[in-house]
Amino acid sequence: MSTFTLPQLPYAYDALEPFIDKETMTIHHQRHHQAYVDNLNAALKASDETSDDLGSILQRISEYSPAVRNNGGGHFNHSLFWEILSPQPQLNPEGKLAEAINSIFGNLENLKAEMKKAGLGQFGSGWVWLFVKFNGSLAVASTPNQDNPMMDIQPVNRGFPILGIDVWEHAYYLAYQNKRADYLDSFWSVLNWSAVEKKYEEALSKIK
């Protein structure tokens, strides 16, 4: 039987302050993410799923229940989110990823502006993604709830996510209240581009 566990954060709950506060990080990780893990395990047990490859499950998510979709997405999305944040981040992309960003978006500031626009345009809860399309190019998209570009229920914008911004209110409301724009601006101060570059290389290796 598949059993997923809550990943430990690679930094303390207060390490991302003042950009993301300790109380938000604690509640977000210990309560919200833990609930996704618990509910995912229960949903997979009910479906007799034996695979422990969450990426593979998400790529075939149309075969599963809404509970697997919602909680599997929640576990995957949050795990990626924690990995790309750092109290001592590399603040700019380098190498092949920087070249791809400049080629497709013109420059990093244009990418940030496009992701902010997508984040502000996402009605209700959801995520904003920078992802690698199956043809190898980069793209930006938003998804509702805990969906992501890996899922086969996406009619467009399919691919491998390498950078995700959580725009559920529980990700920012204690410090930013309804000012989602301010949260989206602050996010870049703790985004570790080194981690995103690794995910970019991993995504490219999957489509070769």
Query: Could you tell me the CA-to-CA distances from 89 to 16, 86, 165, 176, 192 in Å, in that order?
Result: 10, 5, 16, 22, 4
Residue-range domains of the chain with CATH: 21-208 (3.55.40.20)
- What pTM was estimated for this model as a whole? 0.96
Residue with tokens 């938000």: 24
- Measured CA to CA, the distance from residue 194 to residue 59 in angstroms comes to 25
3-state secondary structure of 144: strand
Report residue 25 CA to chain centroid gap.
Answer: 15
Strands (E), 111-189: 126-133, 138-144, 159-166
Contacts of 101 (CB under 8 A, 6+ apart): 93, 107, 108, 111, 138
pLDDT at 155: 84
33 is in an annotated binding site: no
pLDDT in tens, the chain (208 residues): 568 999 999 999 999 999 999 999 999 999 999 999 999 999 999 887 777 899 999 999 999 999 999 999 999 999 999 999 999 999 999 999 999 999 999 999 999 999 999 999 999 999 999 999 999 999 999 999 999 999 999 888 999 999 999 999 999 999 999 999 999 999 999 999 999 999 999 999 998 6
> Is the alpha carbon torsion for 132, 137, 140, 142 positive or negative?
negative
170 is in an annotated binding site: yes
166 is in an annotated binding site: yes
> Is the alpha carbon torsion for 168, 174, 177, 183 positive or negative?
negative
